[in-house]
Structure 1
């Protein structure tokens, strides 16, 4: 078997396959289908400082080659995670990463400080696609200044590996990625969902209660792949690629484009065993091409 291990900051992954936040629960939900310890890392659902009820139903809709979601970061808050979830998952033999969200910088910082105290949590993924309530609801991650401000503040409070998840709903994602790197990010992950909507022609009403939502799945892959390739060329920190990865071939394409690791999201809803299949597929690809290590193909795209 080829060497599939990679490093993201101080984070050591046994293989480059991780699960995307919000699509894999806390890992426990998939334990009946696969050995979750085989995955390189599990990124648990978005966690906020306080409990959030999420948006009104309906908040999910299937679209051609993808899905829209407007769940709204429903979760029971970081204290619930610490007291009720963490004790159940802390002994899983893989990297457990918490996706941190907030509506104000103070929320991000406080949540990160709490998670920093958990020995078995090896990293956080900062979701900067959240609306900044102090800036009229504009997401932190749509400007370099906004991204830099929240990343710098969290960096001062969080001492382990800091991954920053980037929004694709921007003019120049490379500018945002550089701002995150300069502000202390150990890695960037991209892309988060694209803004989309669906309409019911019979009722003449939006399908989602929120009108618009986040588009994910195979439909977004070409955009995600392009952005990963662009960002990997301008930053010196590892890039984690996600967006429409449905099988091992998709994963290999992201690695060739410059991603050091990948996340699988929507595909988990289609096939709960997809993560293990992707790991096995990457290994077979490396053996077929006589590669000794995953590093042989990272960024190996010939242009």
Structure 2
């Protein structure tokens, strides 16, 4: 793919040929070719990795609703040892040095986050770390850290001492006010913010009188959460000076540019890939024409151009 300077975005640890990447978990580790076209995107974001292997929550993990998709996967992953020994080398072999790789991590203690970051730093295969402070599908860990400014900043401050790799804090929309949280993370040393993770929700089977997800509560993704993502990205962009990666309900180039206009410097696509694996490719292909339509010189000029 010939580089298009109008689409290139350079963020800490993420020198991307375009601002489009997958969200964590949506392509697993990006090794298998399932039509996502990852090699044409700006960066690869891995499945969230934990210290030990996790089988995930009881199934069903994913259900469709009229408003979008509810998932309760529960951070299923093979654990950090296998990721470093097998998966990261396979990613490097597949994409060589052409693809920035951001590994998502989640811990149940600050020390677990630190140990994960140290191991990934020493692996030599990682260009940035996404710190999952927001997953609603586990009973401990991310959710407890991400909803409070002090505890969230403690994680980032400890990670900042443990690694030179850029740190992107992924946050939950399930909070009253995102502004003090993002400000605390910026002060603690985060290089960027990722907004938003899924919105907590439930769905019931009327005949069985039971929750449709085995765990009951899950994370909502899809078009219905896009306006929520726009609001959170906008509020964060008015609060911090570090880059924001926007995610939530992106299914078209218009959705992507809307989040960028709200303040994002790049975007992640997740739920749309379950319905249309080529969704990222379609957004990338449509972006130059969209820049012309809305009279932007390049994609970097879109960020934070909302007019009050």
Task: Give TM-score, length-normalised by structure 1.
Answer: 0.95
Q: Residue 79 of structure 1 aligns with which residue?
A: 81
Match of 2:47 in 1: 45
Of 99, 103, 108, which aligns to 1:103? Answer: 108
2:246 corresponding residue in structure 1: 241
Unaligned runs of 5+ in 2: none
Equivalence for 1:209:
214
Asked whether the equivalents of residues 131 and 167 of structure 2 are also in contact (C-alpha less than 8 Å), the reply is yes
How far did 1:34 drift? 4.9
- Give distance in 1, aligned partners of 2:36 and 2:247: 21
Alignment counterpart, residue 180 of structure 1, candidates 164, 181, 185 = 185
SS, match of residue 47 in structure 1: coil
- Supply the distance in 1 between the matched residues of 2:301 and 2:60 (Cα, whole angstroms): 45
Q: 1:18 aligns with which of 9, 18, 21?
A: 21
The structure-2 alpha-carbon separation of the partners of 1:150 and 1:54, relative to structure 1 and needing over 3 Å to count, comes to same
Q: Secondary structure at the match of 1:235?
A: coil
In the TM superposition, what whole-angstrom CA distance separates every residue of 1:121-172 from its partner, at most 9, and x where no partner exists? 10010001256849xx961000101111111111111211111001111110
**Alignment RMSD (CA, Å):** 1.6
Distance 1:133 1:287, change over 3 A: closer
Trace 1:12-161 onto structure 2 (pairs within 5 A): 12-29=15-32, 31-91=33-93, 92=95, 93-130=98-135, 133=140, 139-161=144-166
Which of 162, 171, 182 matches 1:166? 171
The total of aligned residue pairs comes to 300
Deviations 1:52-79 (A, max 9, x none): 1111112211112311111100111011
- Does structure 2 retain, via aligned residues, the 8 Å contact 1:96–1:121? yes
| Contact 2:37–2:280 under 8 Å retained in 1 | no
Residue 294 of structure 1 aligns with which residue? 299
For structure 1, the residue ranges without an aligned partner over 5 or more in a row are none
Q: Does the residue aligned with 2:103 lie in a helix, a strand or coil?
A: strand
Q: How far apart are 1:32 and its partner, in Å?
A: 4.7
The normalised TM-score by structure 2 is: 0.93
